[in-house]
Amino acid sequence: MSAAYPWLETVWQRLLATSTRPAQALLLAGPRGVGKSALALDWARALLCEAPKPDGSACGACPACHWFDTGAHPDFRRVSLQEKTSKEGETRLATAIEVDQARDAVDFVQLSTYRAGCRVVLVDPADSLNLAAANALLKVLEEPPLNTVFVLVSDQPRRLLPTIRSRCTRLDVGLPAWGQAAAWLAEQGVDDAPTLLALAGGTPLDAQRWCEGEALDERRGVLEGLARPEALDPVSLGERWKTVAPQTWHNVAYKWIGDLLAVSLGGRVQFNQDFAEALAKLGRTADPGKLLALARVQADEGRILAHPLNRSLQLQAWLVEYRHVFD
């Protein structure tokens, strides 16, 4: 079986080569949007398969594969961010993996396996384990029960406890080559793959996500506003943009500021190729120090995305600061 995405082929083959003696704790590390989760699932499926192919990959036909594909394999446990419903009825992902989830996983690995094979625990994203959850998990990582494999997936492995990192065999999944990623996006029917890929910092799955829903149109609207700071009215734009999804806003504004900063310091546009001309012009009058301050605000906002207080007010304050960059 080939890898879930063409750029994962090398790392997939490296994993398969270990299938007779898999690492008991594996850490798949690399930037977001490159398919680490898909790779981890393929690996779990291969480990649980009862009639693996000669290369070590899953057969896709045995009862274990069938259960895995229907999400019901009794020897597989996925620990990830849970959905929570607020008082207002909105469903959001939790911001951390909680200790009770980790304890469930610990209990799970103490049981005997159902299929007398191995047992796989997938922790994804592992960097979202809160401290108590990480400590609970650490205990079993230190002495994993027989036939148990832990697979941890992380965009930000530095955020893992050093003691957890040191228990894991690390496998890095890098960004695909630009041409390969662009070709794959084009195959998926994505228009203007190079622009989108630049926007997504070279990560093809993020680039693909941009095409879903209204994110692209929202981005264009926001950037057309930001590209003309002299004509920008914080009050009306704050009102208008409050409906833009916080994640989209954060992504767009952060990359815009990043590009502006690069250009003002004599560098090149990295993300917003389609606005390169406007950025070059703005970069001549932008104050790098103020941009840097704004980038910090934006980075902080990324951490509190789930709790915007008064959205339009928050945007207005940001836009006022933004205008001052070009004073």
Chain residues binding Zn ion by CB under 5 A are 49, 58-59, 62, 65
In whole angstroms, how close is the CB of 59 to Zn ion at the nearest point?
4
In whole angstroms, how close is the CB of 80 to Zn ion at the nearest point?
24
In whole angstroms, how close is the CB of 50 to Zn ion at the nearest point?
6
Judged by beta carbon, residue 28 or residue 48, the one nearer Zn ion is 48
CB 223 within 8 A of CB 232: no
For the beta sheet containing 76-79, the strands, ordered from the edge strand earlier in sequence to the opposite edge, are 76-79, 119-123, 148-154, 25-29, 169-172
Q: Cα(194)–Cα(196) distance, rounded to whole angstroms? A: 5
Task: Determine how β-strand 76-79 pairs with β-strand 119-123.
Answer: parallel
Q: Cα(76)–Cα(149) distance, rounded to whole angstroms? A: 10
Judged by beta carbon, residue 3 or residue 49, the one nearer Zn ion is 49
In whole angstroms, how close is the CB of 169 to Zn ion at the nearest point?
24
Q: Cα(138)–Cα(40) distance, rounded to whole angstroms? A: 20
Judged by beta carbon, residue 30 or residue 56, the one nearer Zn ion is 56
In whole angstroms, how close is the CB of 43 to Zn ion at the nearest point?
13
Judged by beta carbon, residue 57 or residue 298, the one nearer Zn ion is 57
What are phi and psi for residue 200, nearest 5 degrees?
Answer: -90, 15
CB 55 within 8 A of CB 66: no
Judged by beta carbon, residue 147 or residue 273, the one nearer Zn ion is 147
278 — alpha (psi -120 to 50), left (phi > 0) or beta? Answer: alpha
